[in-house]
Amino acid sequence: MSALFKIPARVTKLDTVDQVKWLKEYKSAIELSIKTAQQRAVDEGLAEFVTVAVERAPNKAQFIAEFGEIVWNRLCNHTTRNDWRVIK
Protein backbone atom coordinates (compact mmCIF):
# COMPACT_ATOMS: atom_id res chain seq x y z
CA MET A 1 0.00 0.00 0.00
CA SER A 2 2.81 2.41 0.73
CA ALA A 3 3.99 2.19 -2.88
CA LEU A 4 0.55 3.16 -4.20
CA PHE A 5 -0.45 5.77 -1.64
CA LYS A 6 1.97 8.22 -0.11
CA ILE A 7 0.28 8.96 3.19
CA PRO A 8 2.05 11.51 5.37
CA ALA A 9 3.61 10.33 8.60
CA ARG A 10 1.24 10.10 11.54
CA VAL A 11 1.21 13.40 13.40
CA THR A 12 -1.88 13.23 15.60
CA LYS A 13 -4.74 10.87 16.21
CA LEU A 14 -7.06 13.17 14.25
CA ASP A 15 -4.80 12.99 11.20
CA THR A 16 -4.87 9.19 11.28
CA VAL A 17 -8.67 9.16 11.60
CA ASP A 18 -8.89 11.57 8.66
CA GLN A 19 -6.64 9.30 6.59
CA VAL A 20 -8.86 6.28 7.31
CA LYS A 21 -11.95 8.28 6.36
CA TRP A 22 -10.35 9.44 3.10
CA LEU A 23 -9.21 5.91 2.20
CA LYS A 24 -12.71 4.51 2.80
CA GLU A 25 -14.21 7.21 0.58
CA TYR A 26 -11.58 6.48 -2.08
CA LYS A 27 -12.35 2.75 -1.91
CA SER A 28 -16.07 3.46 -2.34
CA ALA A 29 -15.37 5.67 -5.35
CA ILE A 30 -13.24 2.98 -6.99
CA GLU A 31 -15.87 0.28 -6.34
CA LEU A 32 -18.52 2.53 -7.92
CA SER A 33 -16.24 3.13 -10.94
CA ILE A 34 -15.76 -0.61 -11.38
CA LYS A 35 -19.51 -1.27 -11.24
CA THR A 36 -20.15 1.52 -13.75
CA ALA A 37 -17.50 0.20 -16.15
CA GLN A 38 -18.88 -3.34 -15.84
CA GLN A 39 -22.40 -2.13 -16.64
CA ARG A 40 -21.10 -0.15 -19.61
CA ALA A 41 -19.36 -3.29 -20.93
CA VAL A 42 -22.64 -5.21 -20.56
CA ASP A 43 -24.55 -2.46 -22.38
CA GLU A 44 -21.98 -2.57 -25.22
CA GLY A 45 -22.32 -6.36 -25.50
CA LEU A 46 -18.74 -7.05 -24.40
CA ALA A 47 -19.64 -8.74 -21.11
CA GLU A 48 -22.57 -10.23 -19.24
CA PHE A 49 -23.84 -10.92 -15.75
CA VAL A 50 -24.34 -14.63 -15.11
CA THR A 51 -26.39 -16.05 -12.24
CA VAL A 52 -24.43 -18.80 -10.49
CA ALA A 53 -25.77 -21.26 -7.90
CA VAL A 54 -23.51 -21.58 -4.87
CA GLU A 55 -23.41 -24.19 -2.10
CA ARG A 56 -21.78 -22.99 1.10
CA ALA A 57 -19.78 -25.95 2.37
CA PRO A 58 -16.11 -26.53 3.11
CA ASN A 59 -16.08 -30.20 2.07
CA LYS A 60 -19.31 -31.64 0.70
CA ALA A 61 -18.06 -35.20 0.10
CA GLN A 62 -16.64 -35.57 3.61
CA PHE A 63 -19.78 -34.13 5.21
CA ILE A 64 -22.07 -36.49 3.27
CA ALA A 65 -19.87 -39.48 4.10
CA GLU A 66 -20.01 -38.61 7.79
CA PHE A 67 -23.62 -37.44 8.25
CA GLY A 68 -25.53 -38.54 5.13
CA GLU A 69 -27.28 -36.97 2.17
CA ILE A 70 -30.50 -36.17 4.09
CA VAL A 71 -28.67 -34.08 6.69
CA TRP A 72 -26.68 -32.38 3.91
CA ASN A 73 -29.86 -31.36 2.06
CA ARG A 74 -31.35 -30.00 5.27
CA LEU A 75 -28.30 -27.99 6.43
CA CYS A 76 -26.65 -26.89 3.17
CA ASN A 77 -27.02 -23.21 2.38
CA HIS A 78 -27.93 -22.77 -1.31
CA THR A 79 -27.62 -19.24 -2.67
CA THR A 80 -27.19 -17.51 -6.01
CA ARG A 81 -24.98 -14.63 -7.02
CA ASN A 82 -24.46 -12.58 -10.16
CA ASP A 83 -20.97 -12.90 -11.61
CA TRP A 84 -19.64 -10.57 -14.28
CA ARG A 85 -17.72 -12.16 -17.14
CA VAL A 86 -16.32 -11.07 -20.48
CA ILE A 87 -17.95 -12.56 -23.57
CA LYS A 88 -15.33 -14.29 -25.70
Question: 19 in a domain, yes or no?
Answer: yes
Q: Is residue 4 part of a domain?
A: no
Which structural domain range is residue 40 located in?
Answer: 12-45
Instruction: Return all residues near 49 (Cβ < 8 A) that are at least 6 apart.
Output: 42, 82, 83, 84
Whether residue 1 is contained in a domain is answered as no
Nearest CA-CA partner of 35 in 86, 84, 81:
84
Tally of structural domains, the chain: 2
Per-residue pLDDT of the chain (88 residues; tens, 9 = 90+): 455 666 656 556 668 888 889 899 999 999 999 999 999 999 999 999 999 988 777 688 888 899 998 988 888 888 889 999 999 8
pTM as predicted: 0.60
Same domain, 21 and 31: yes
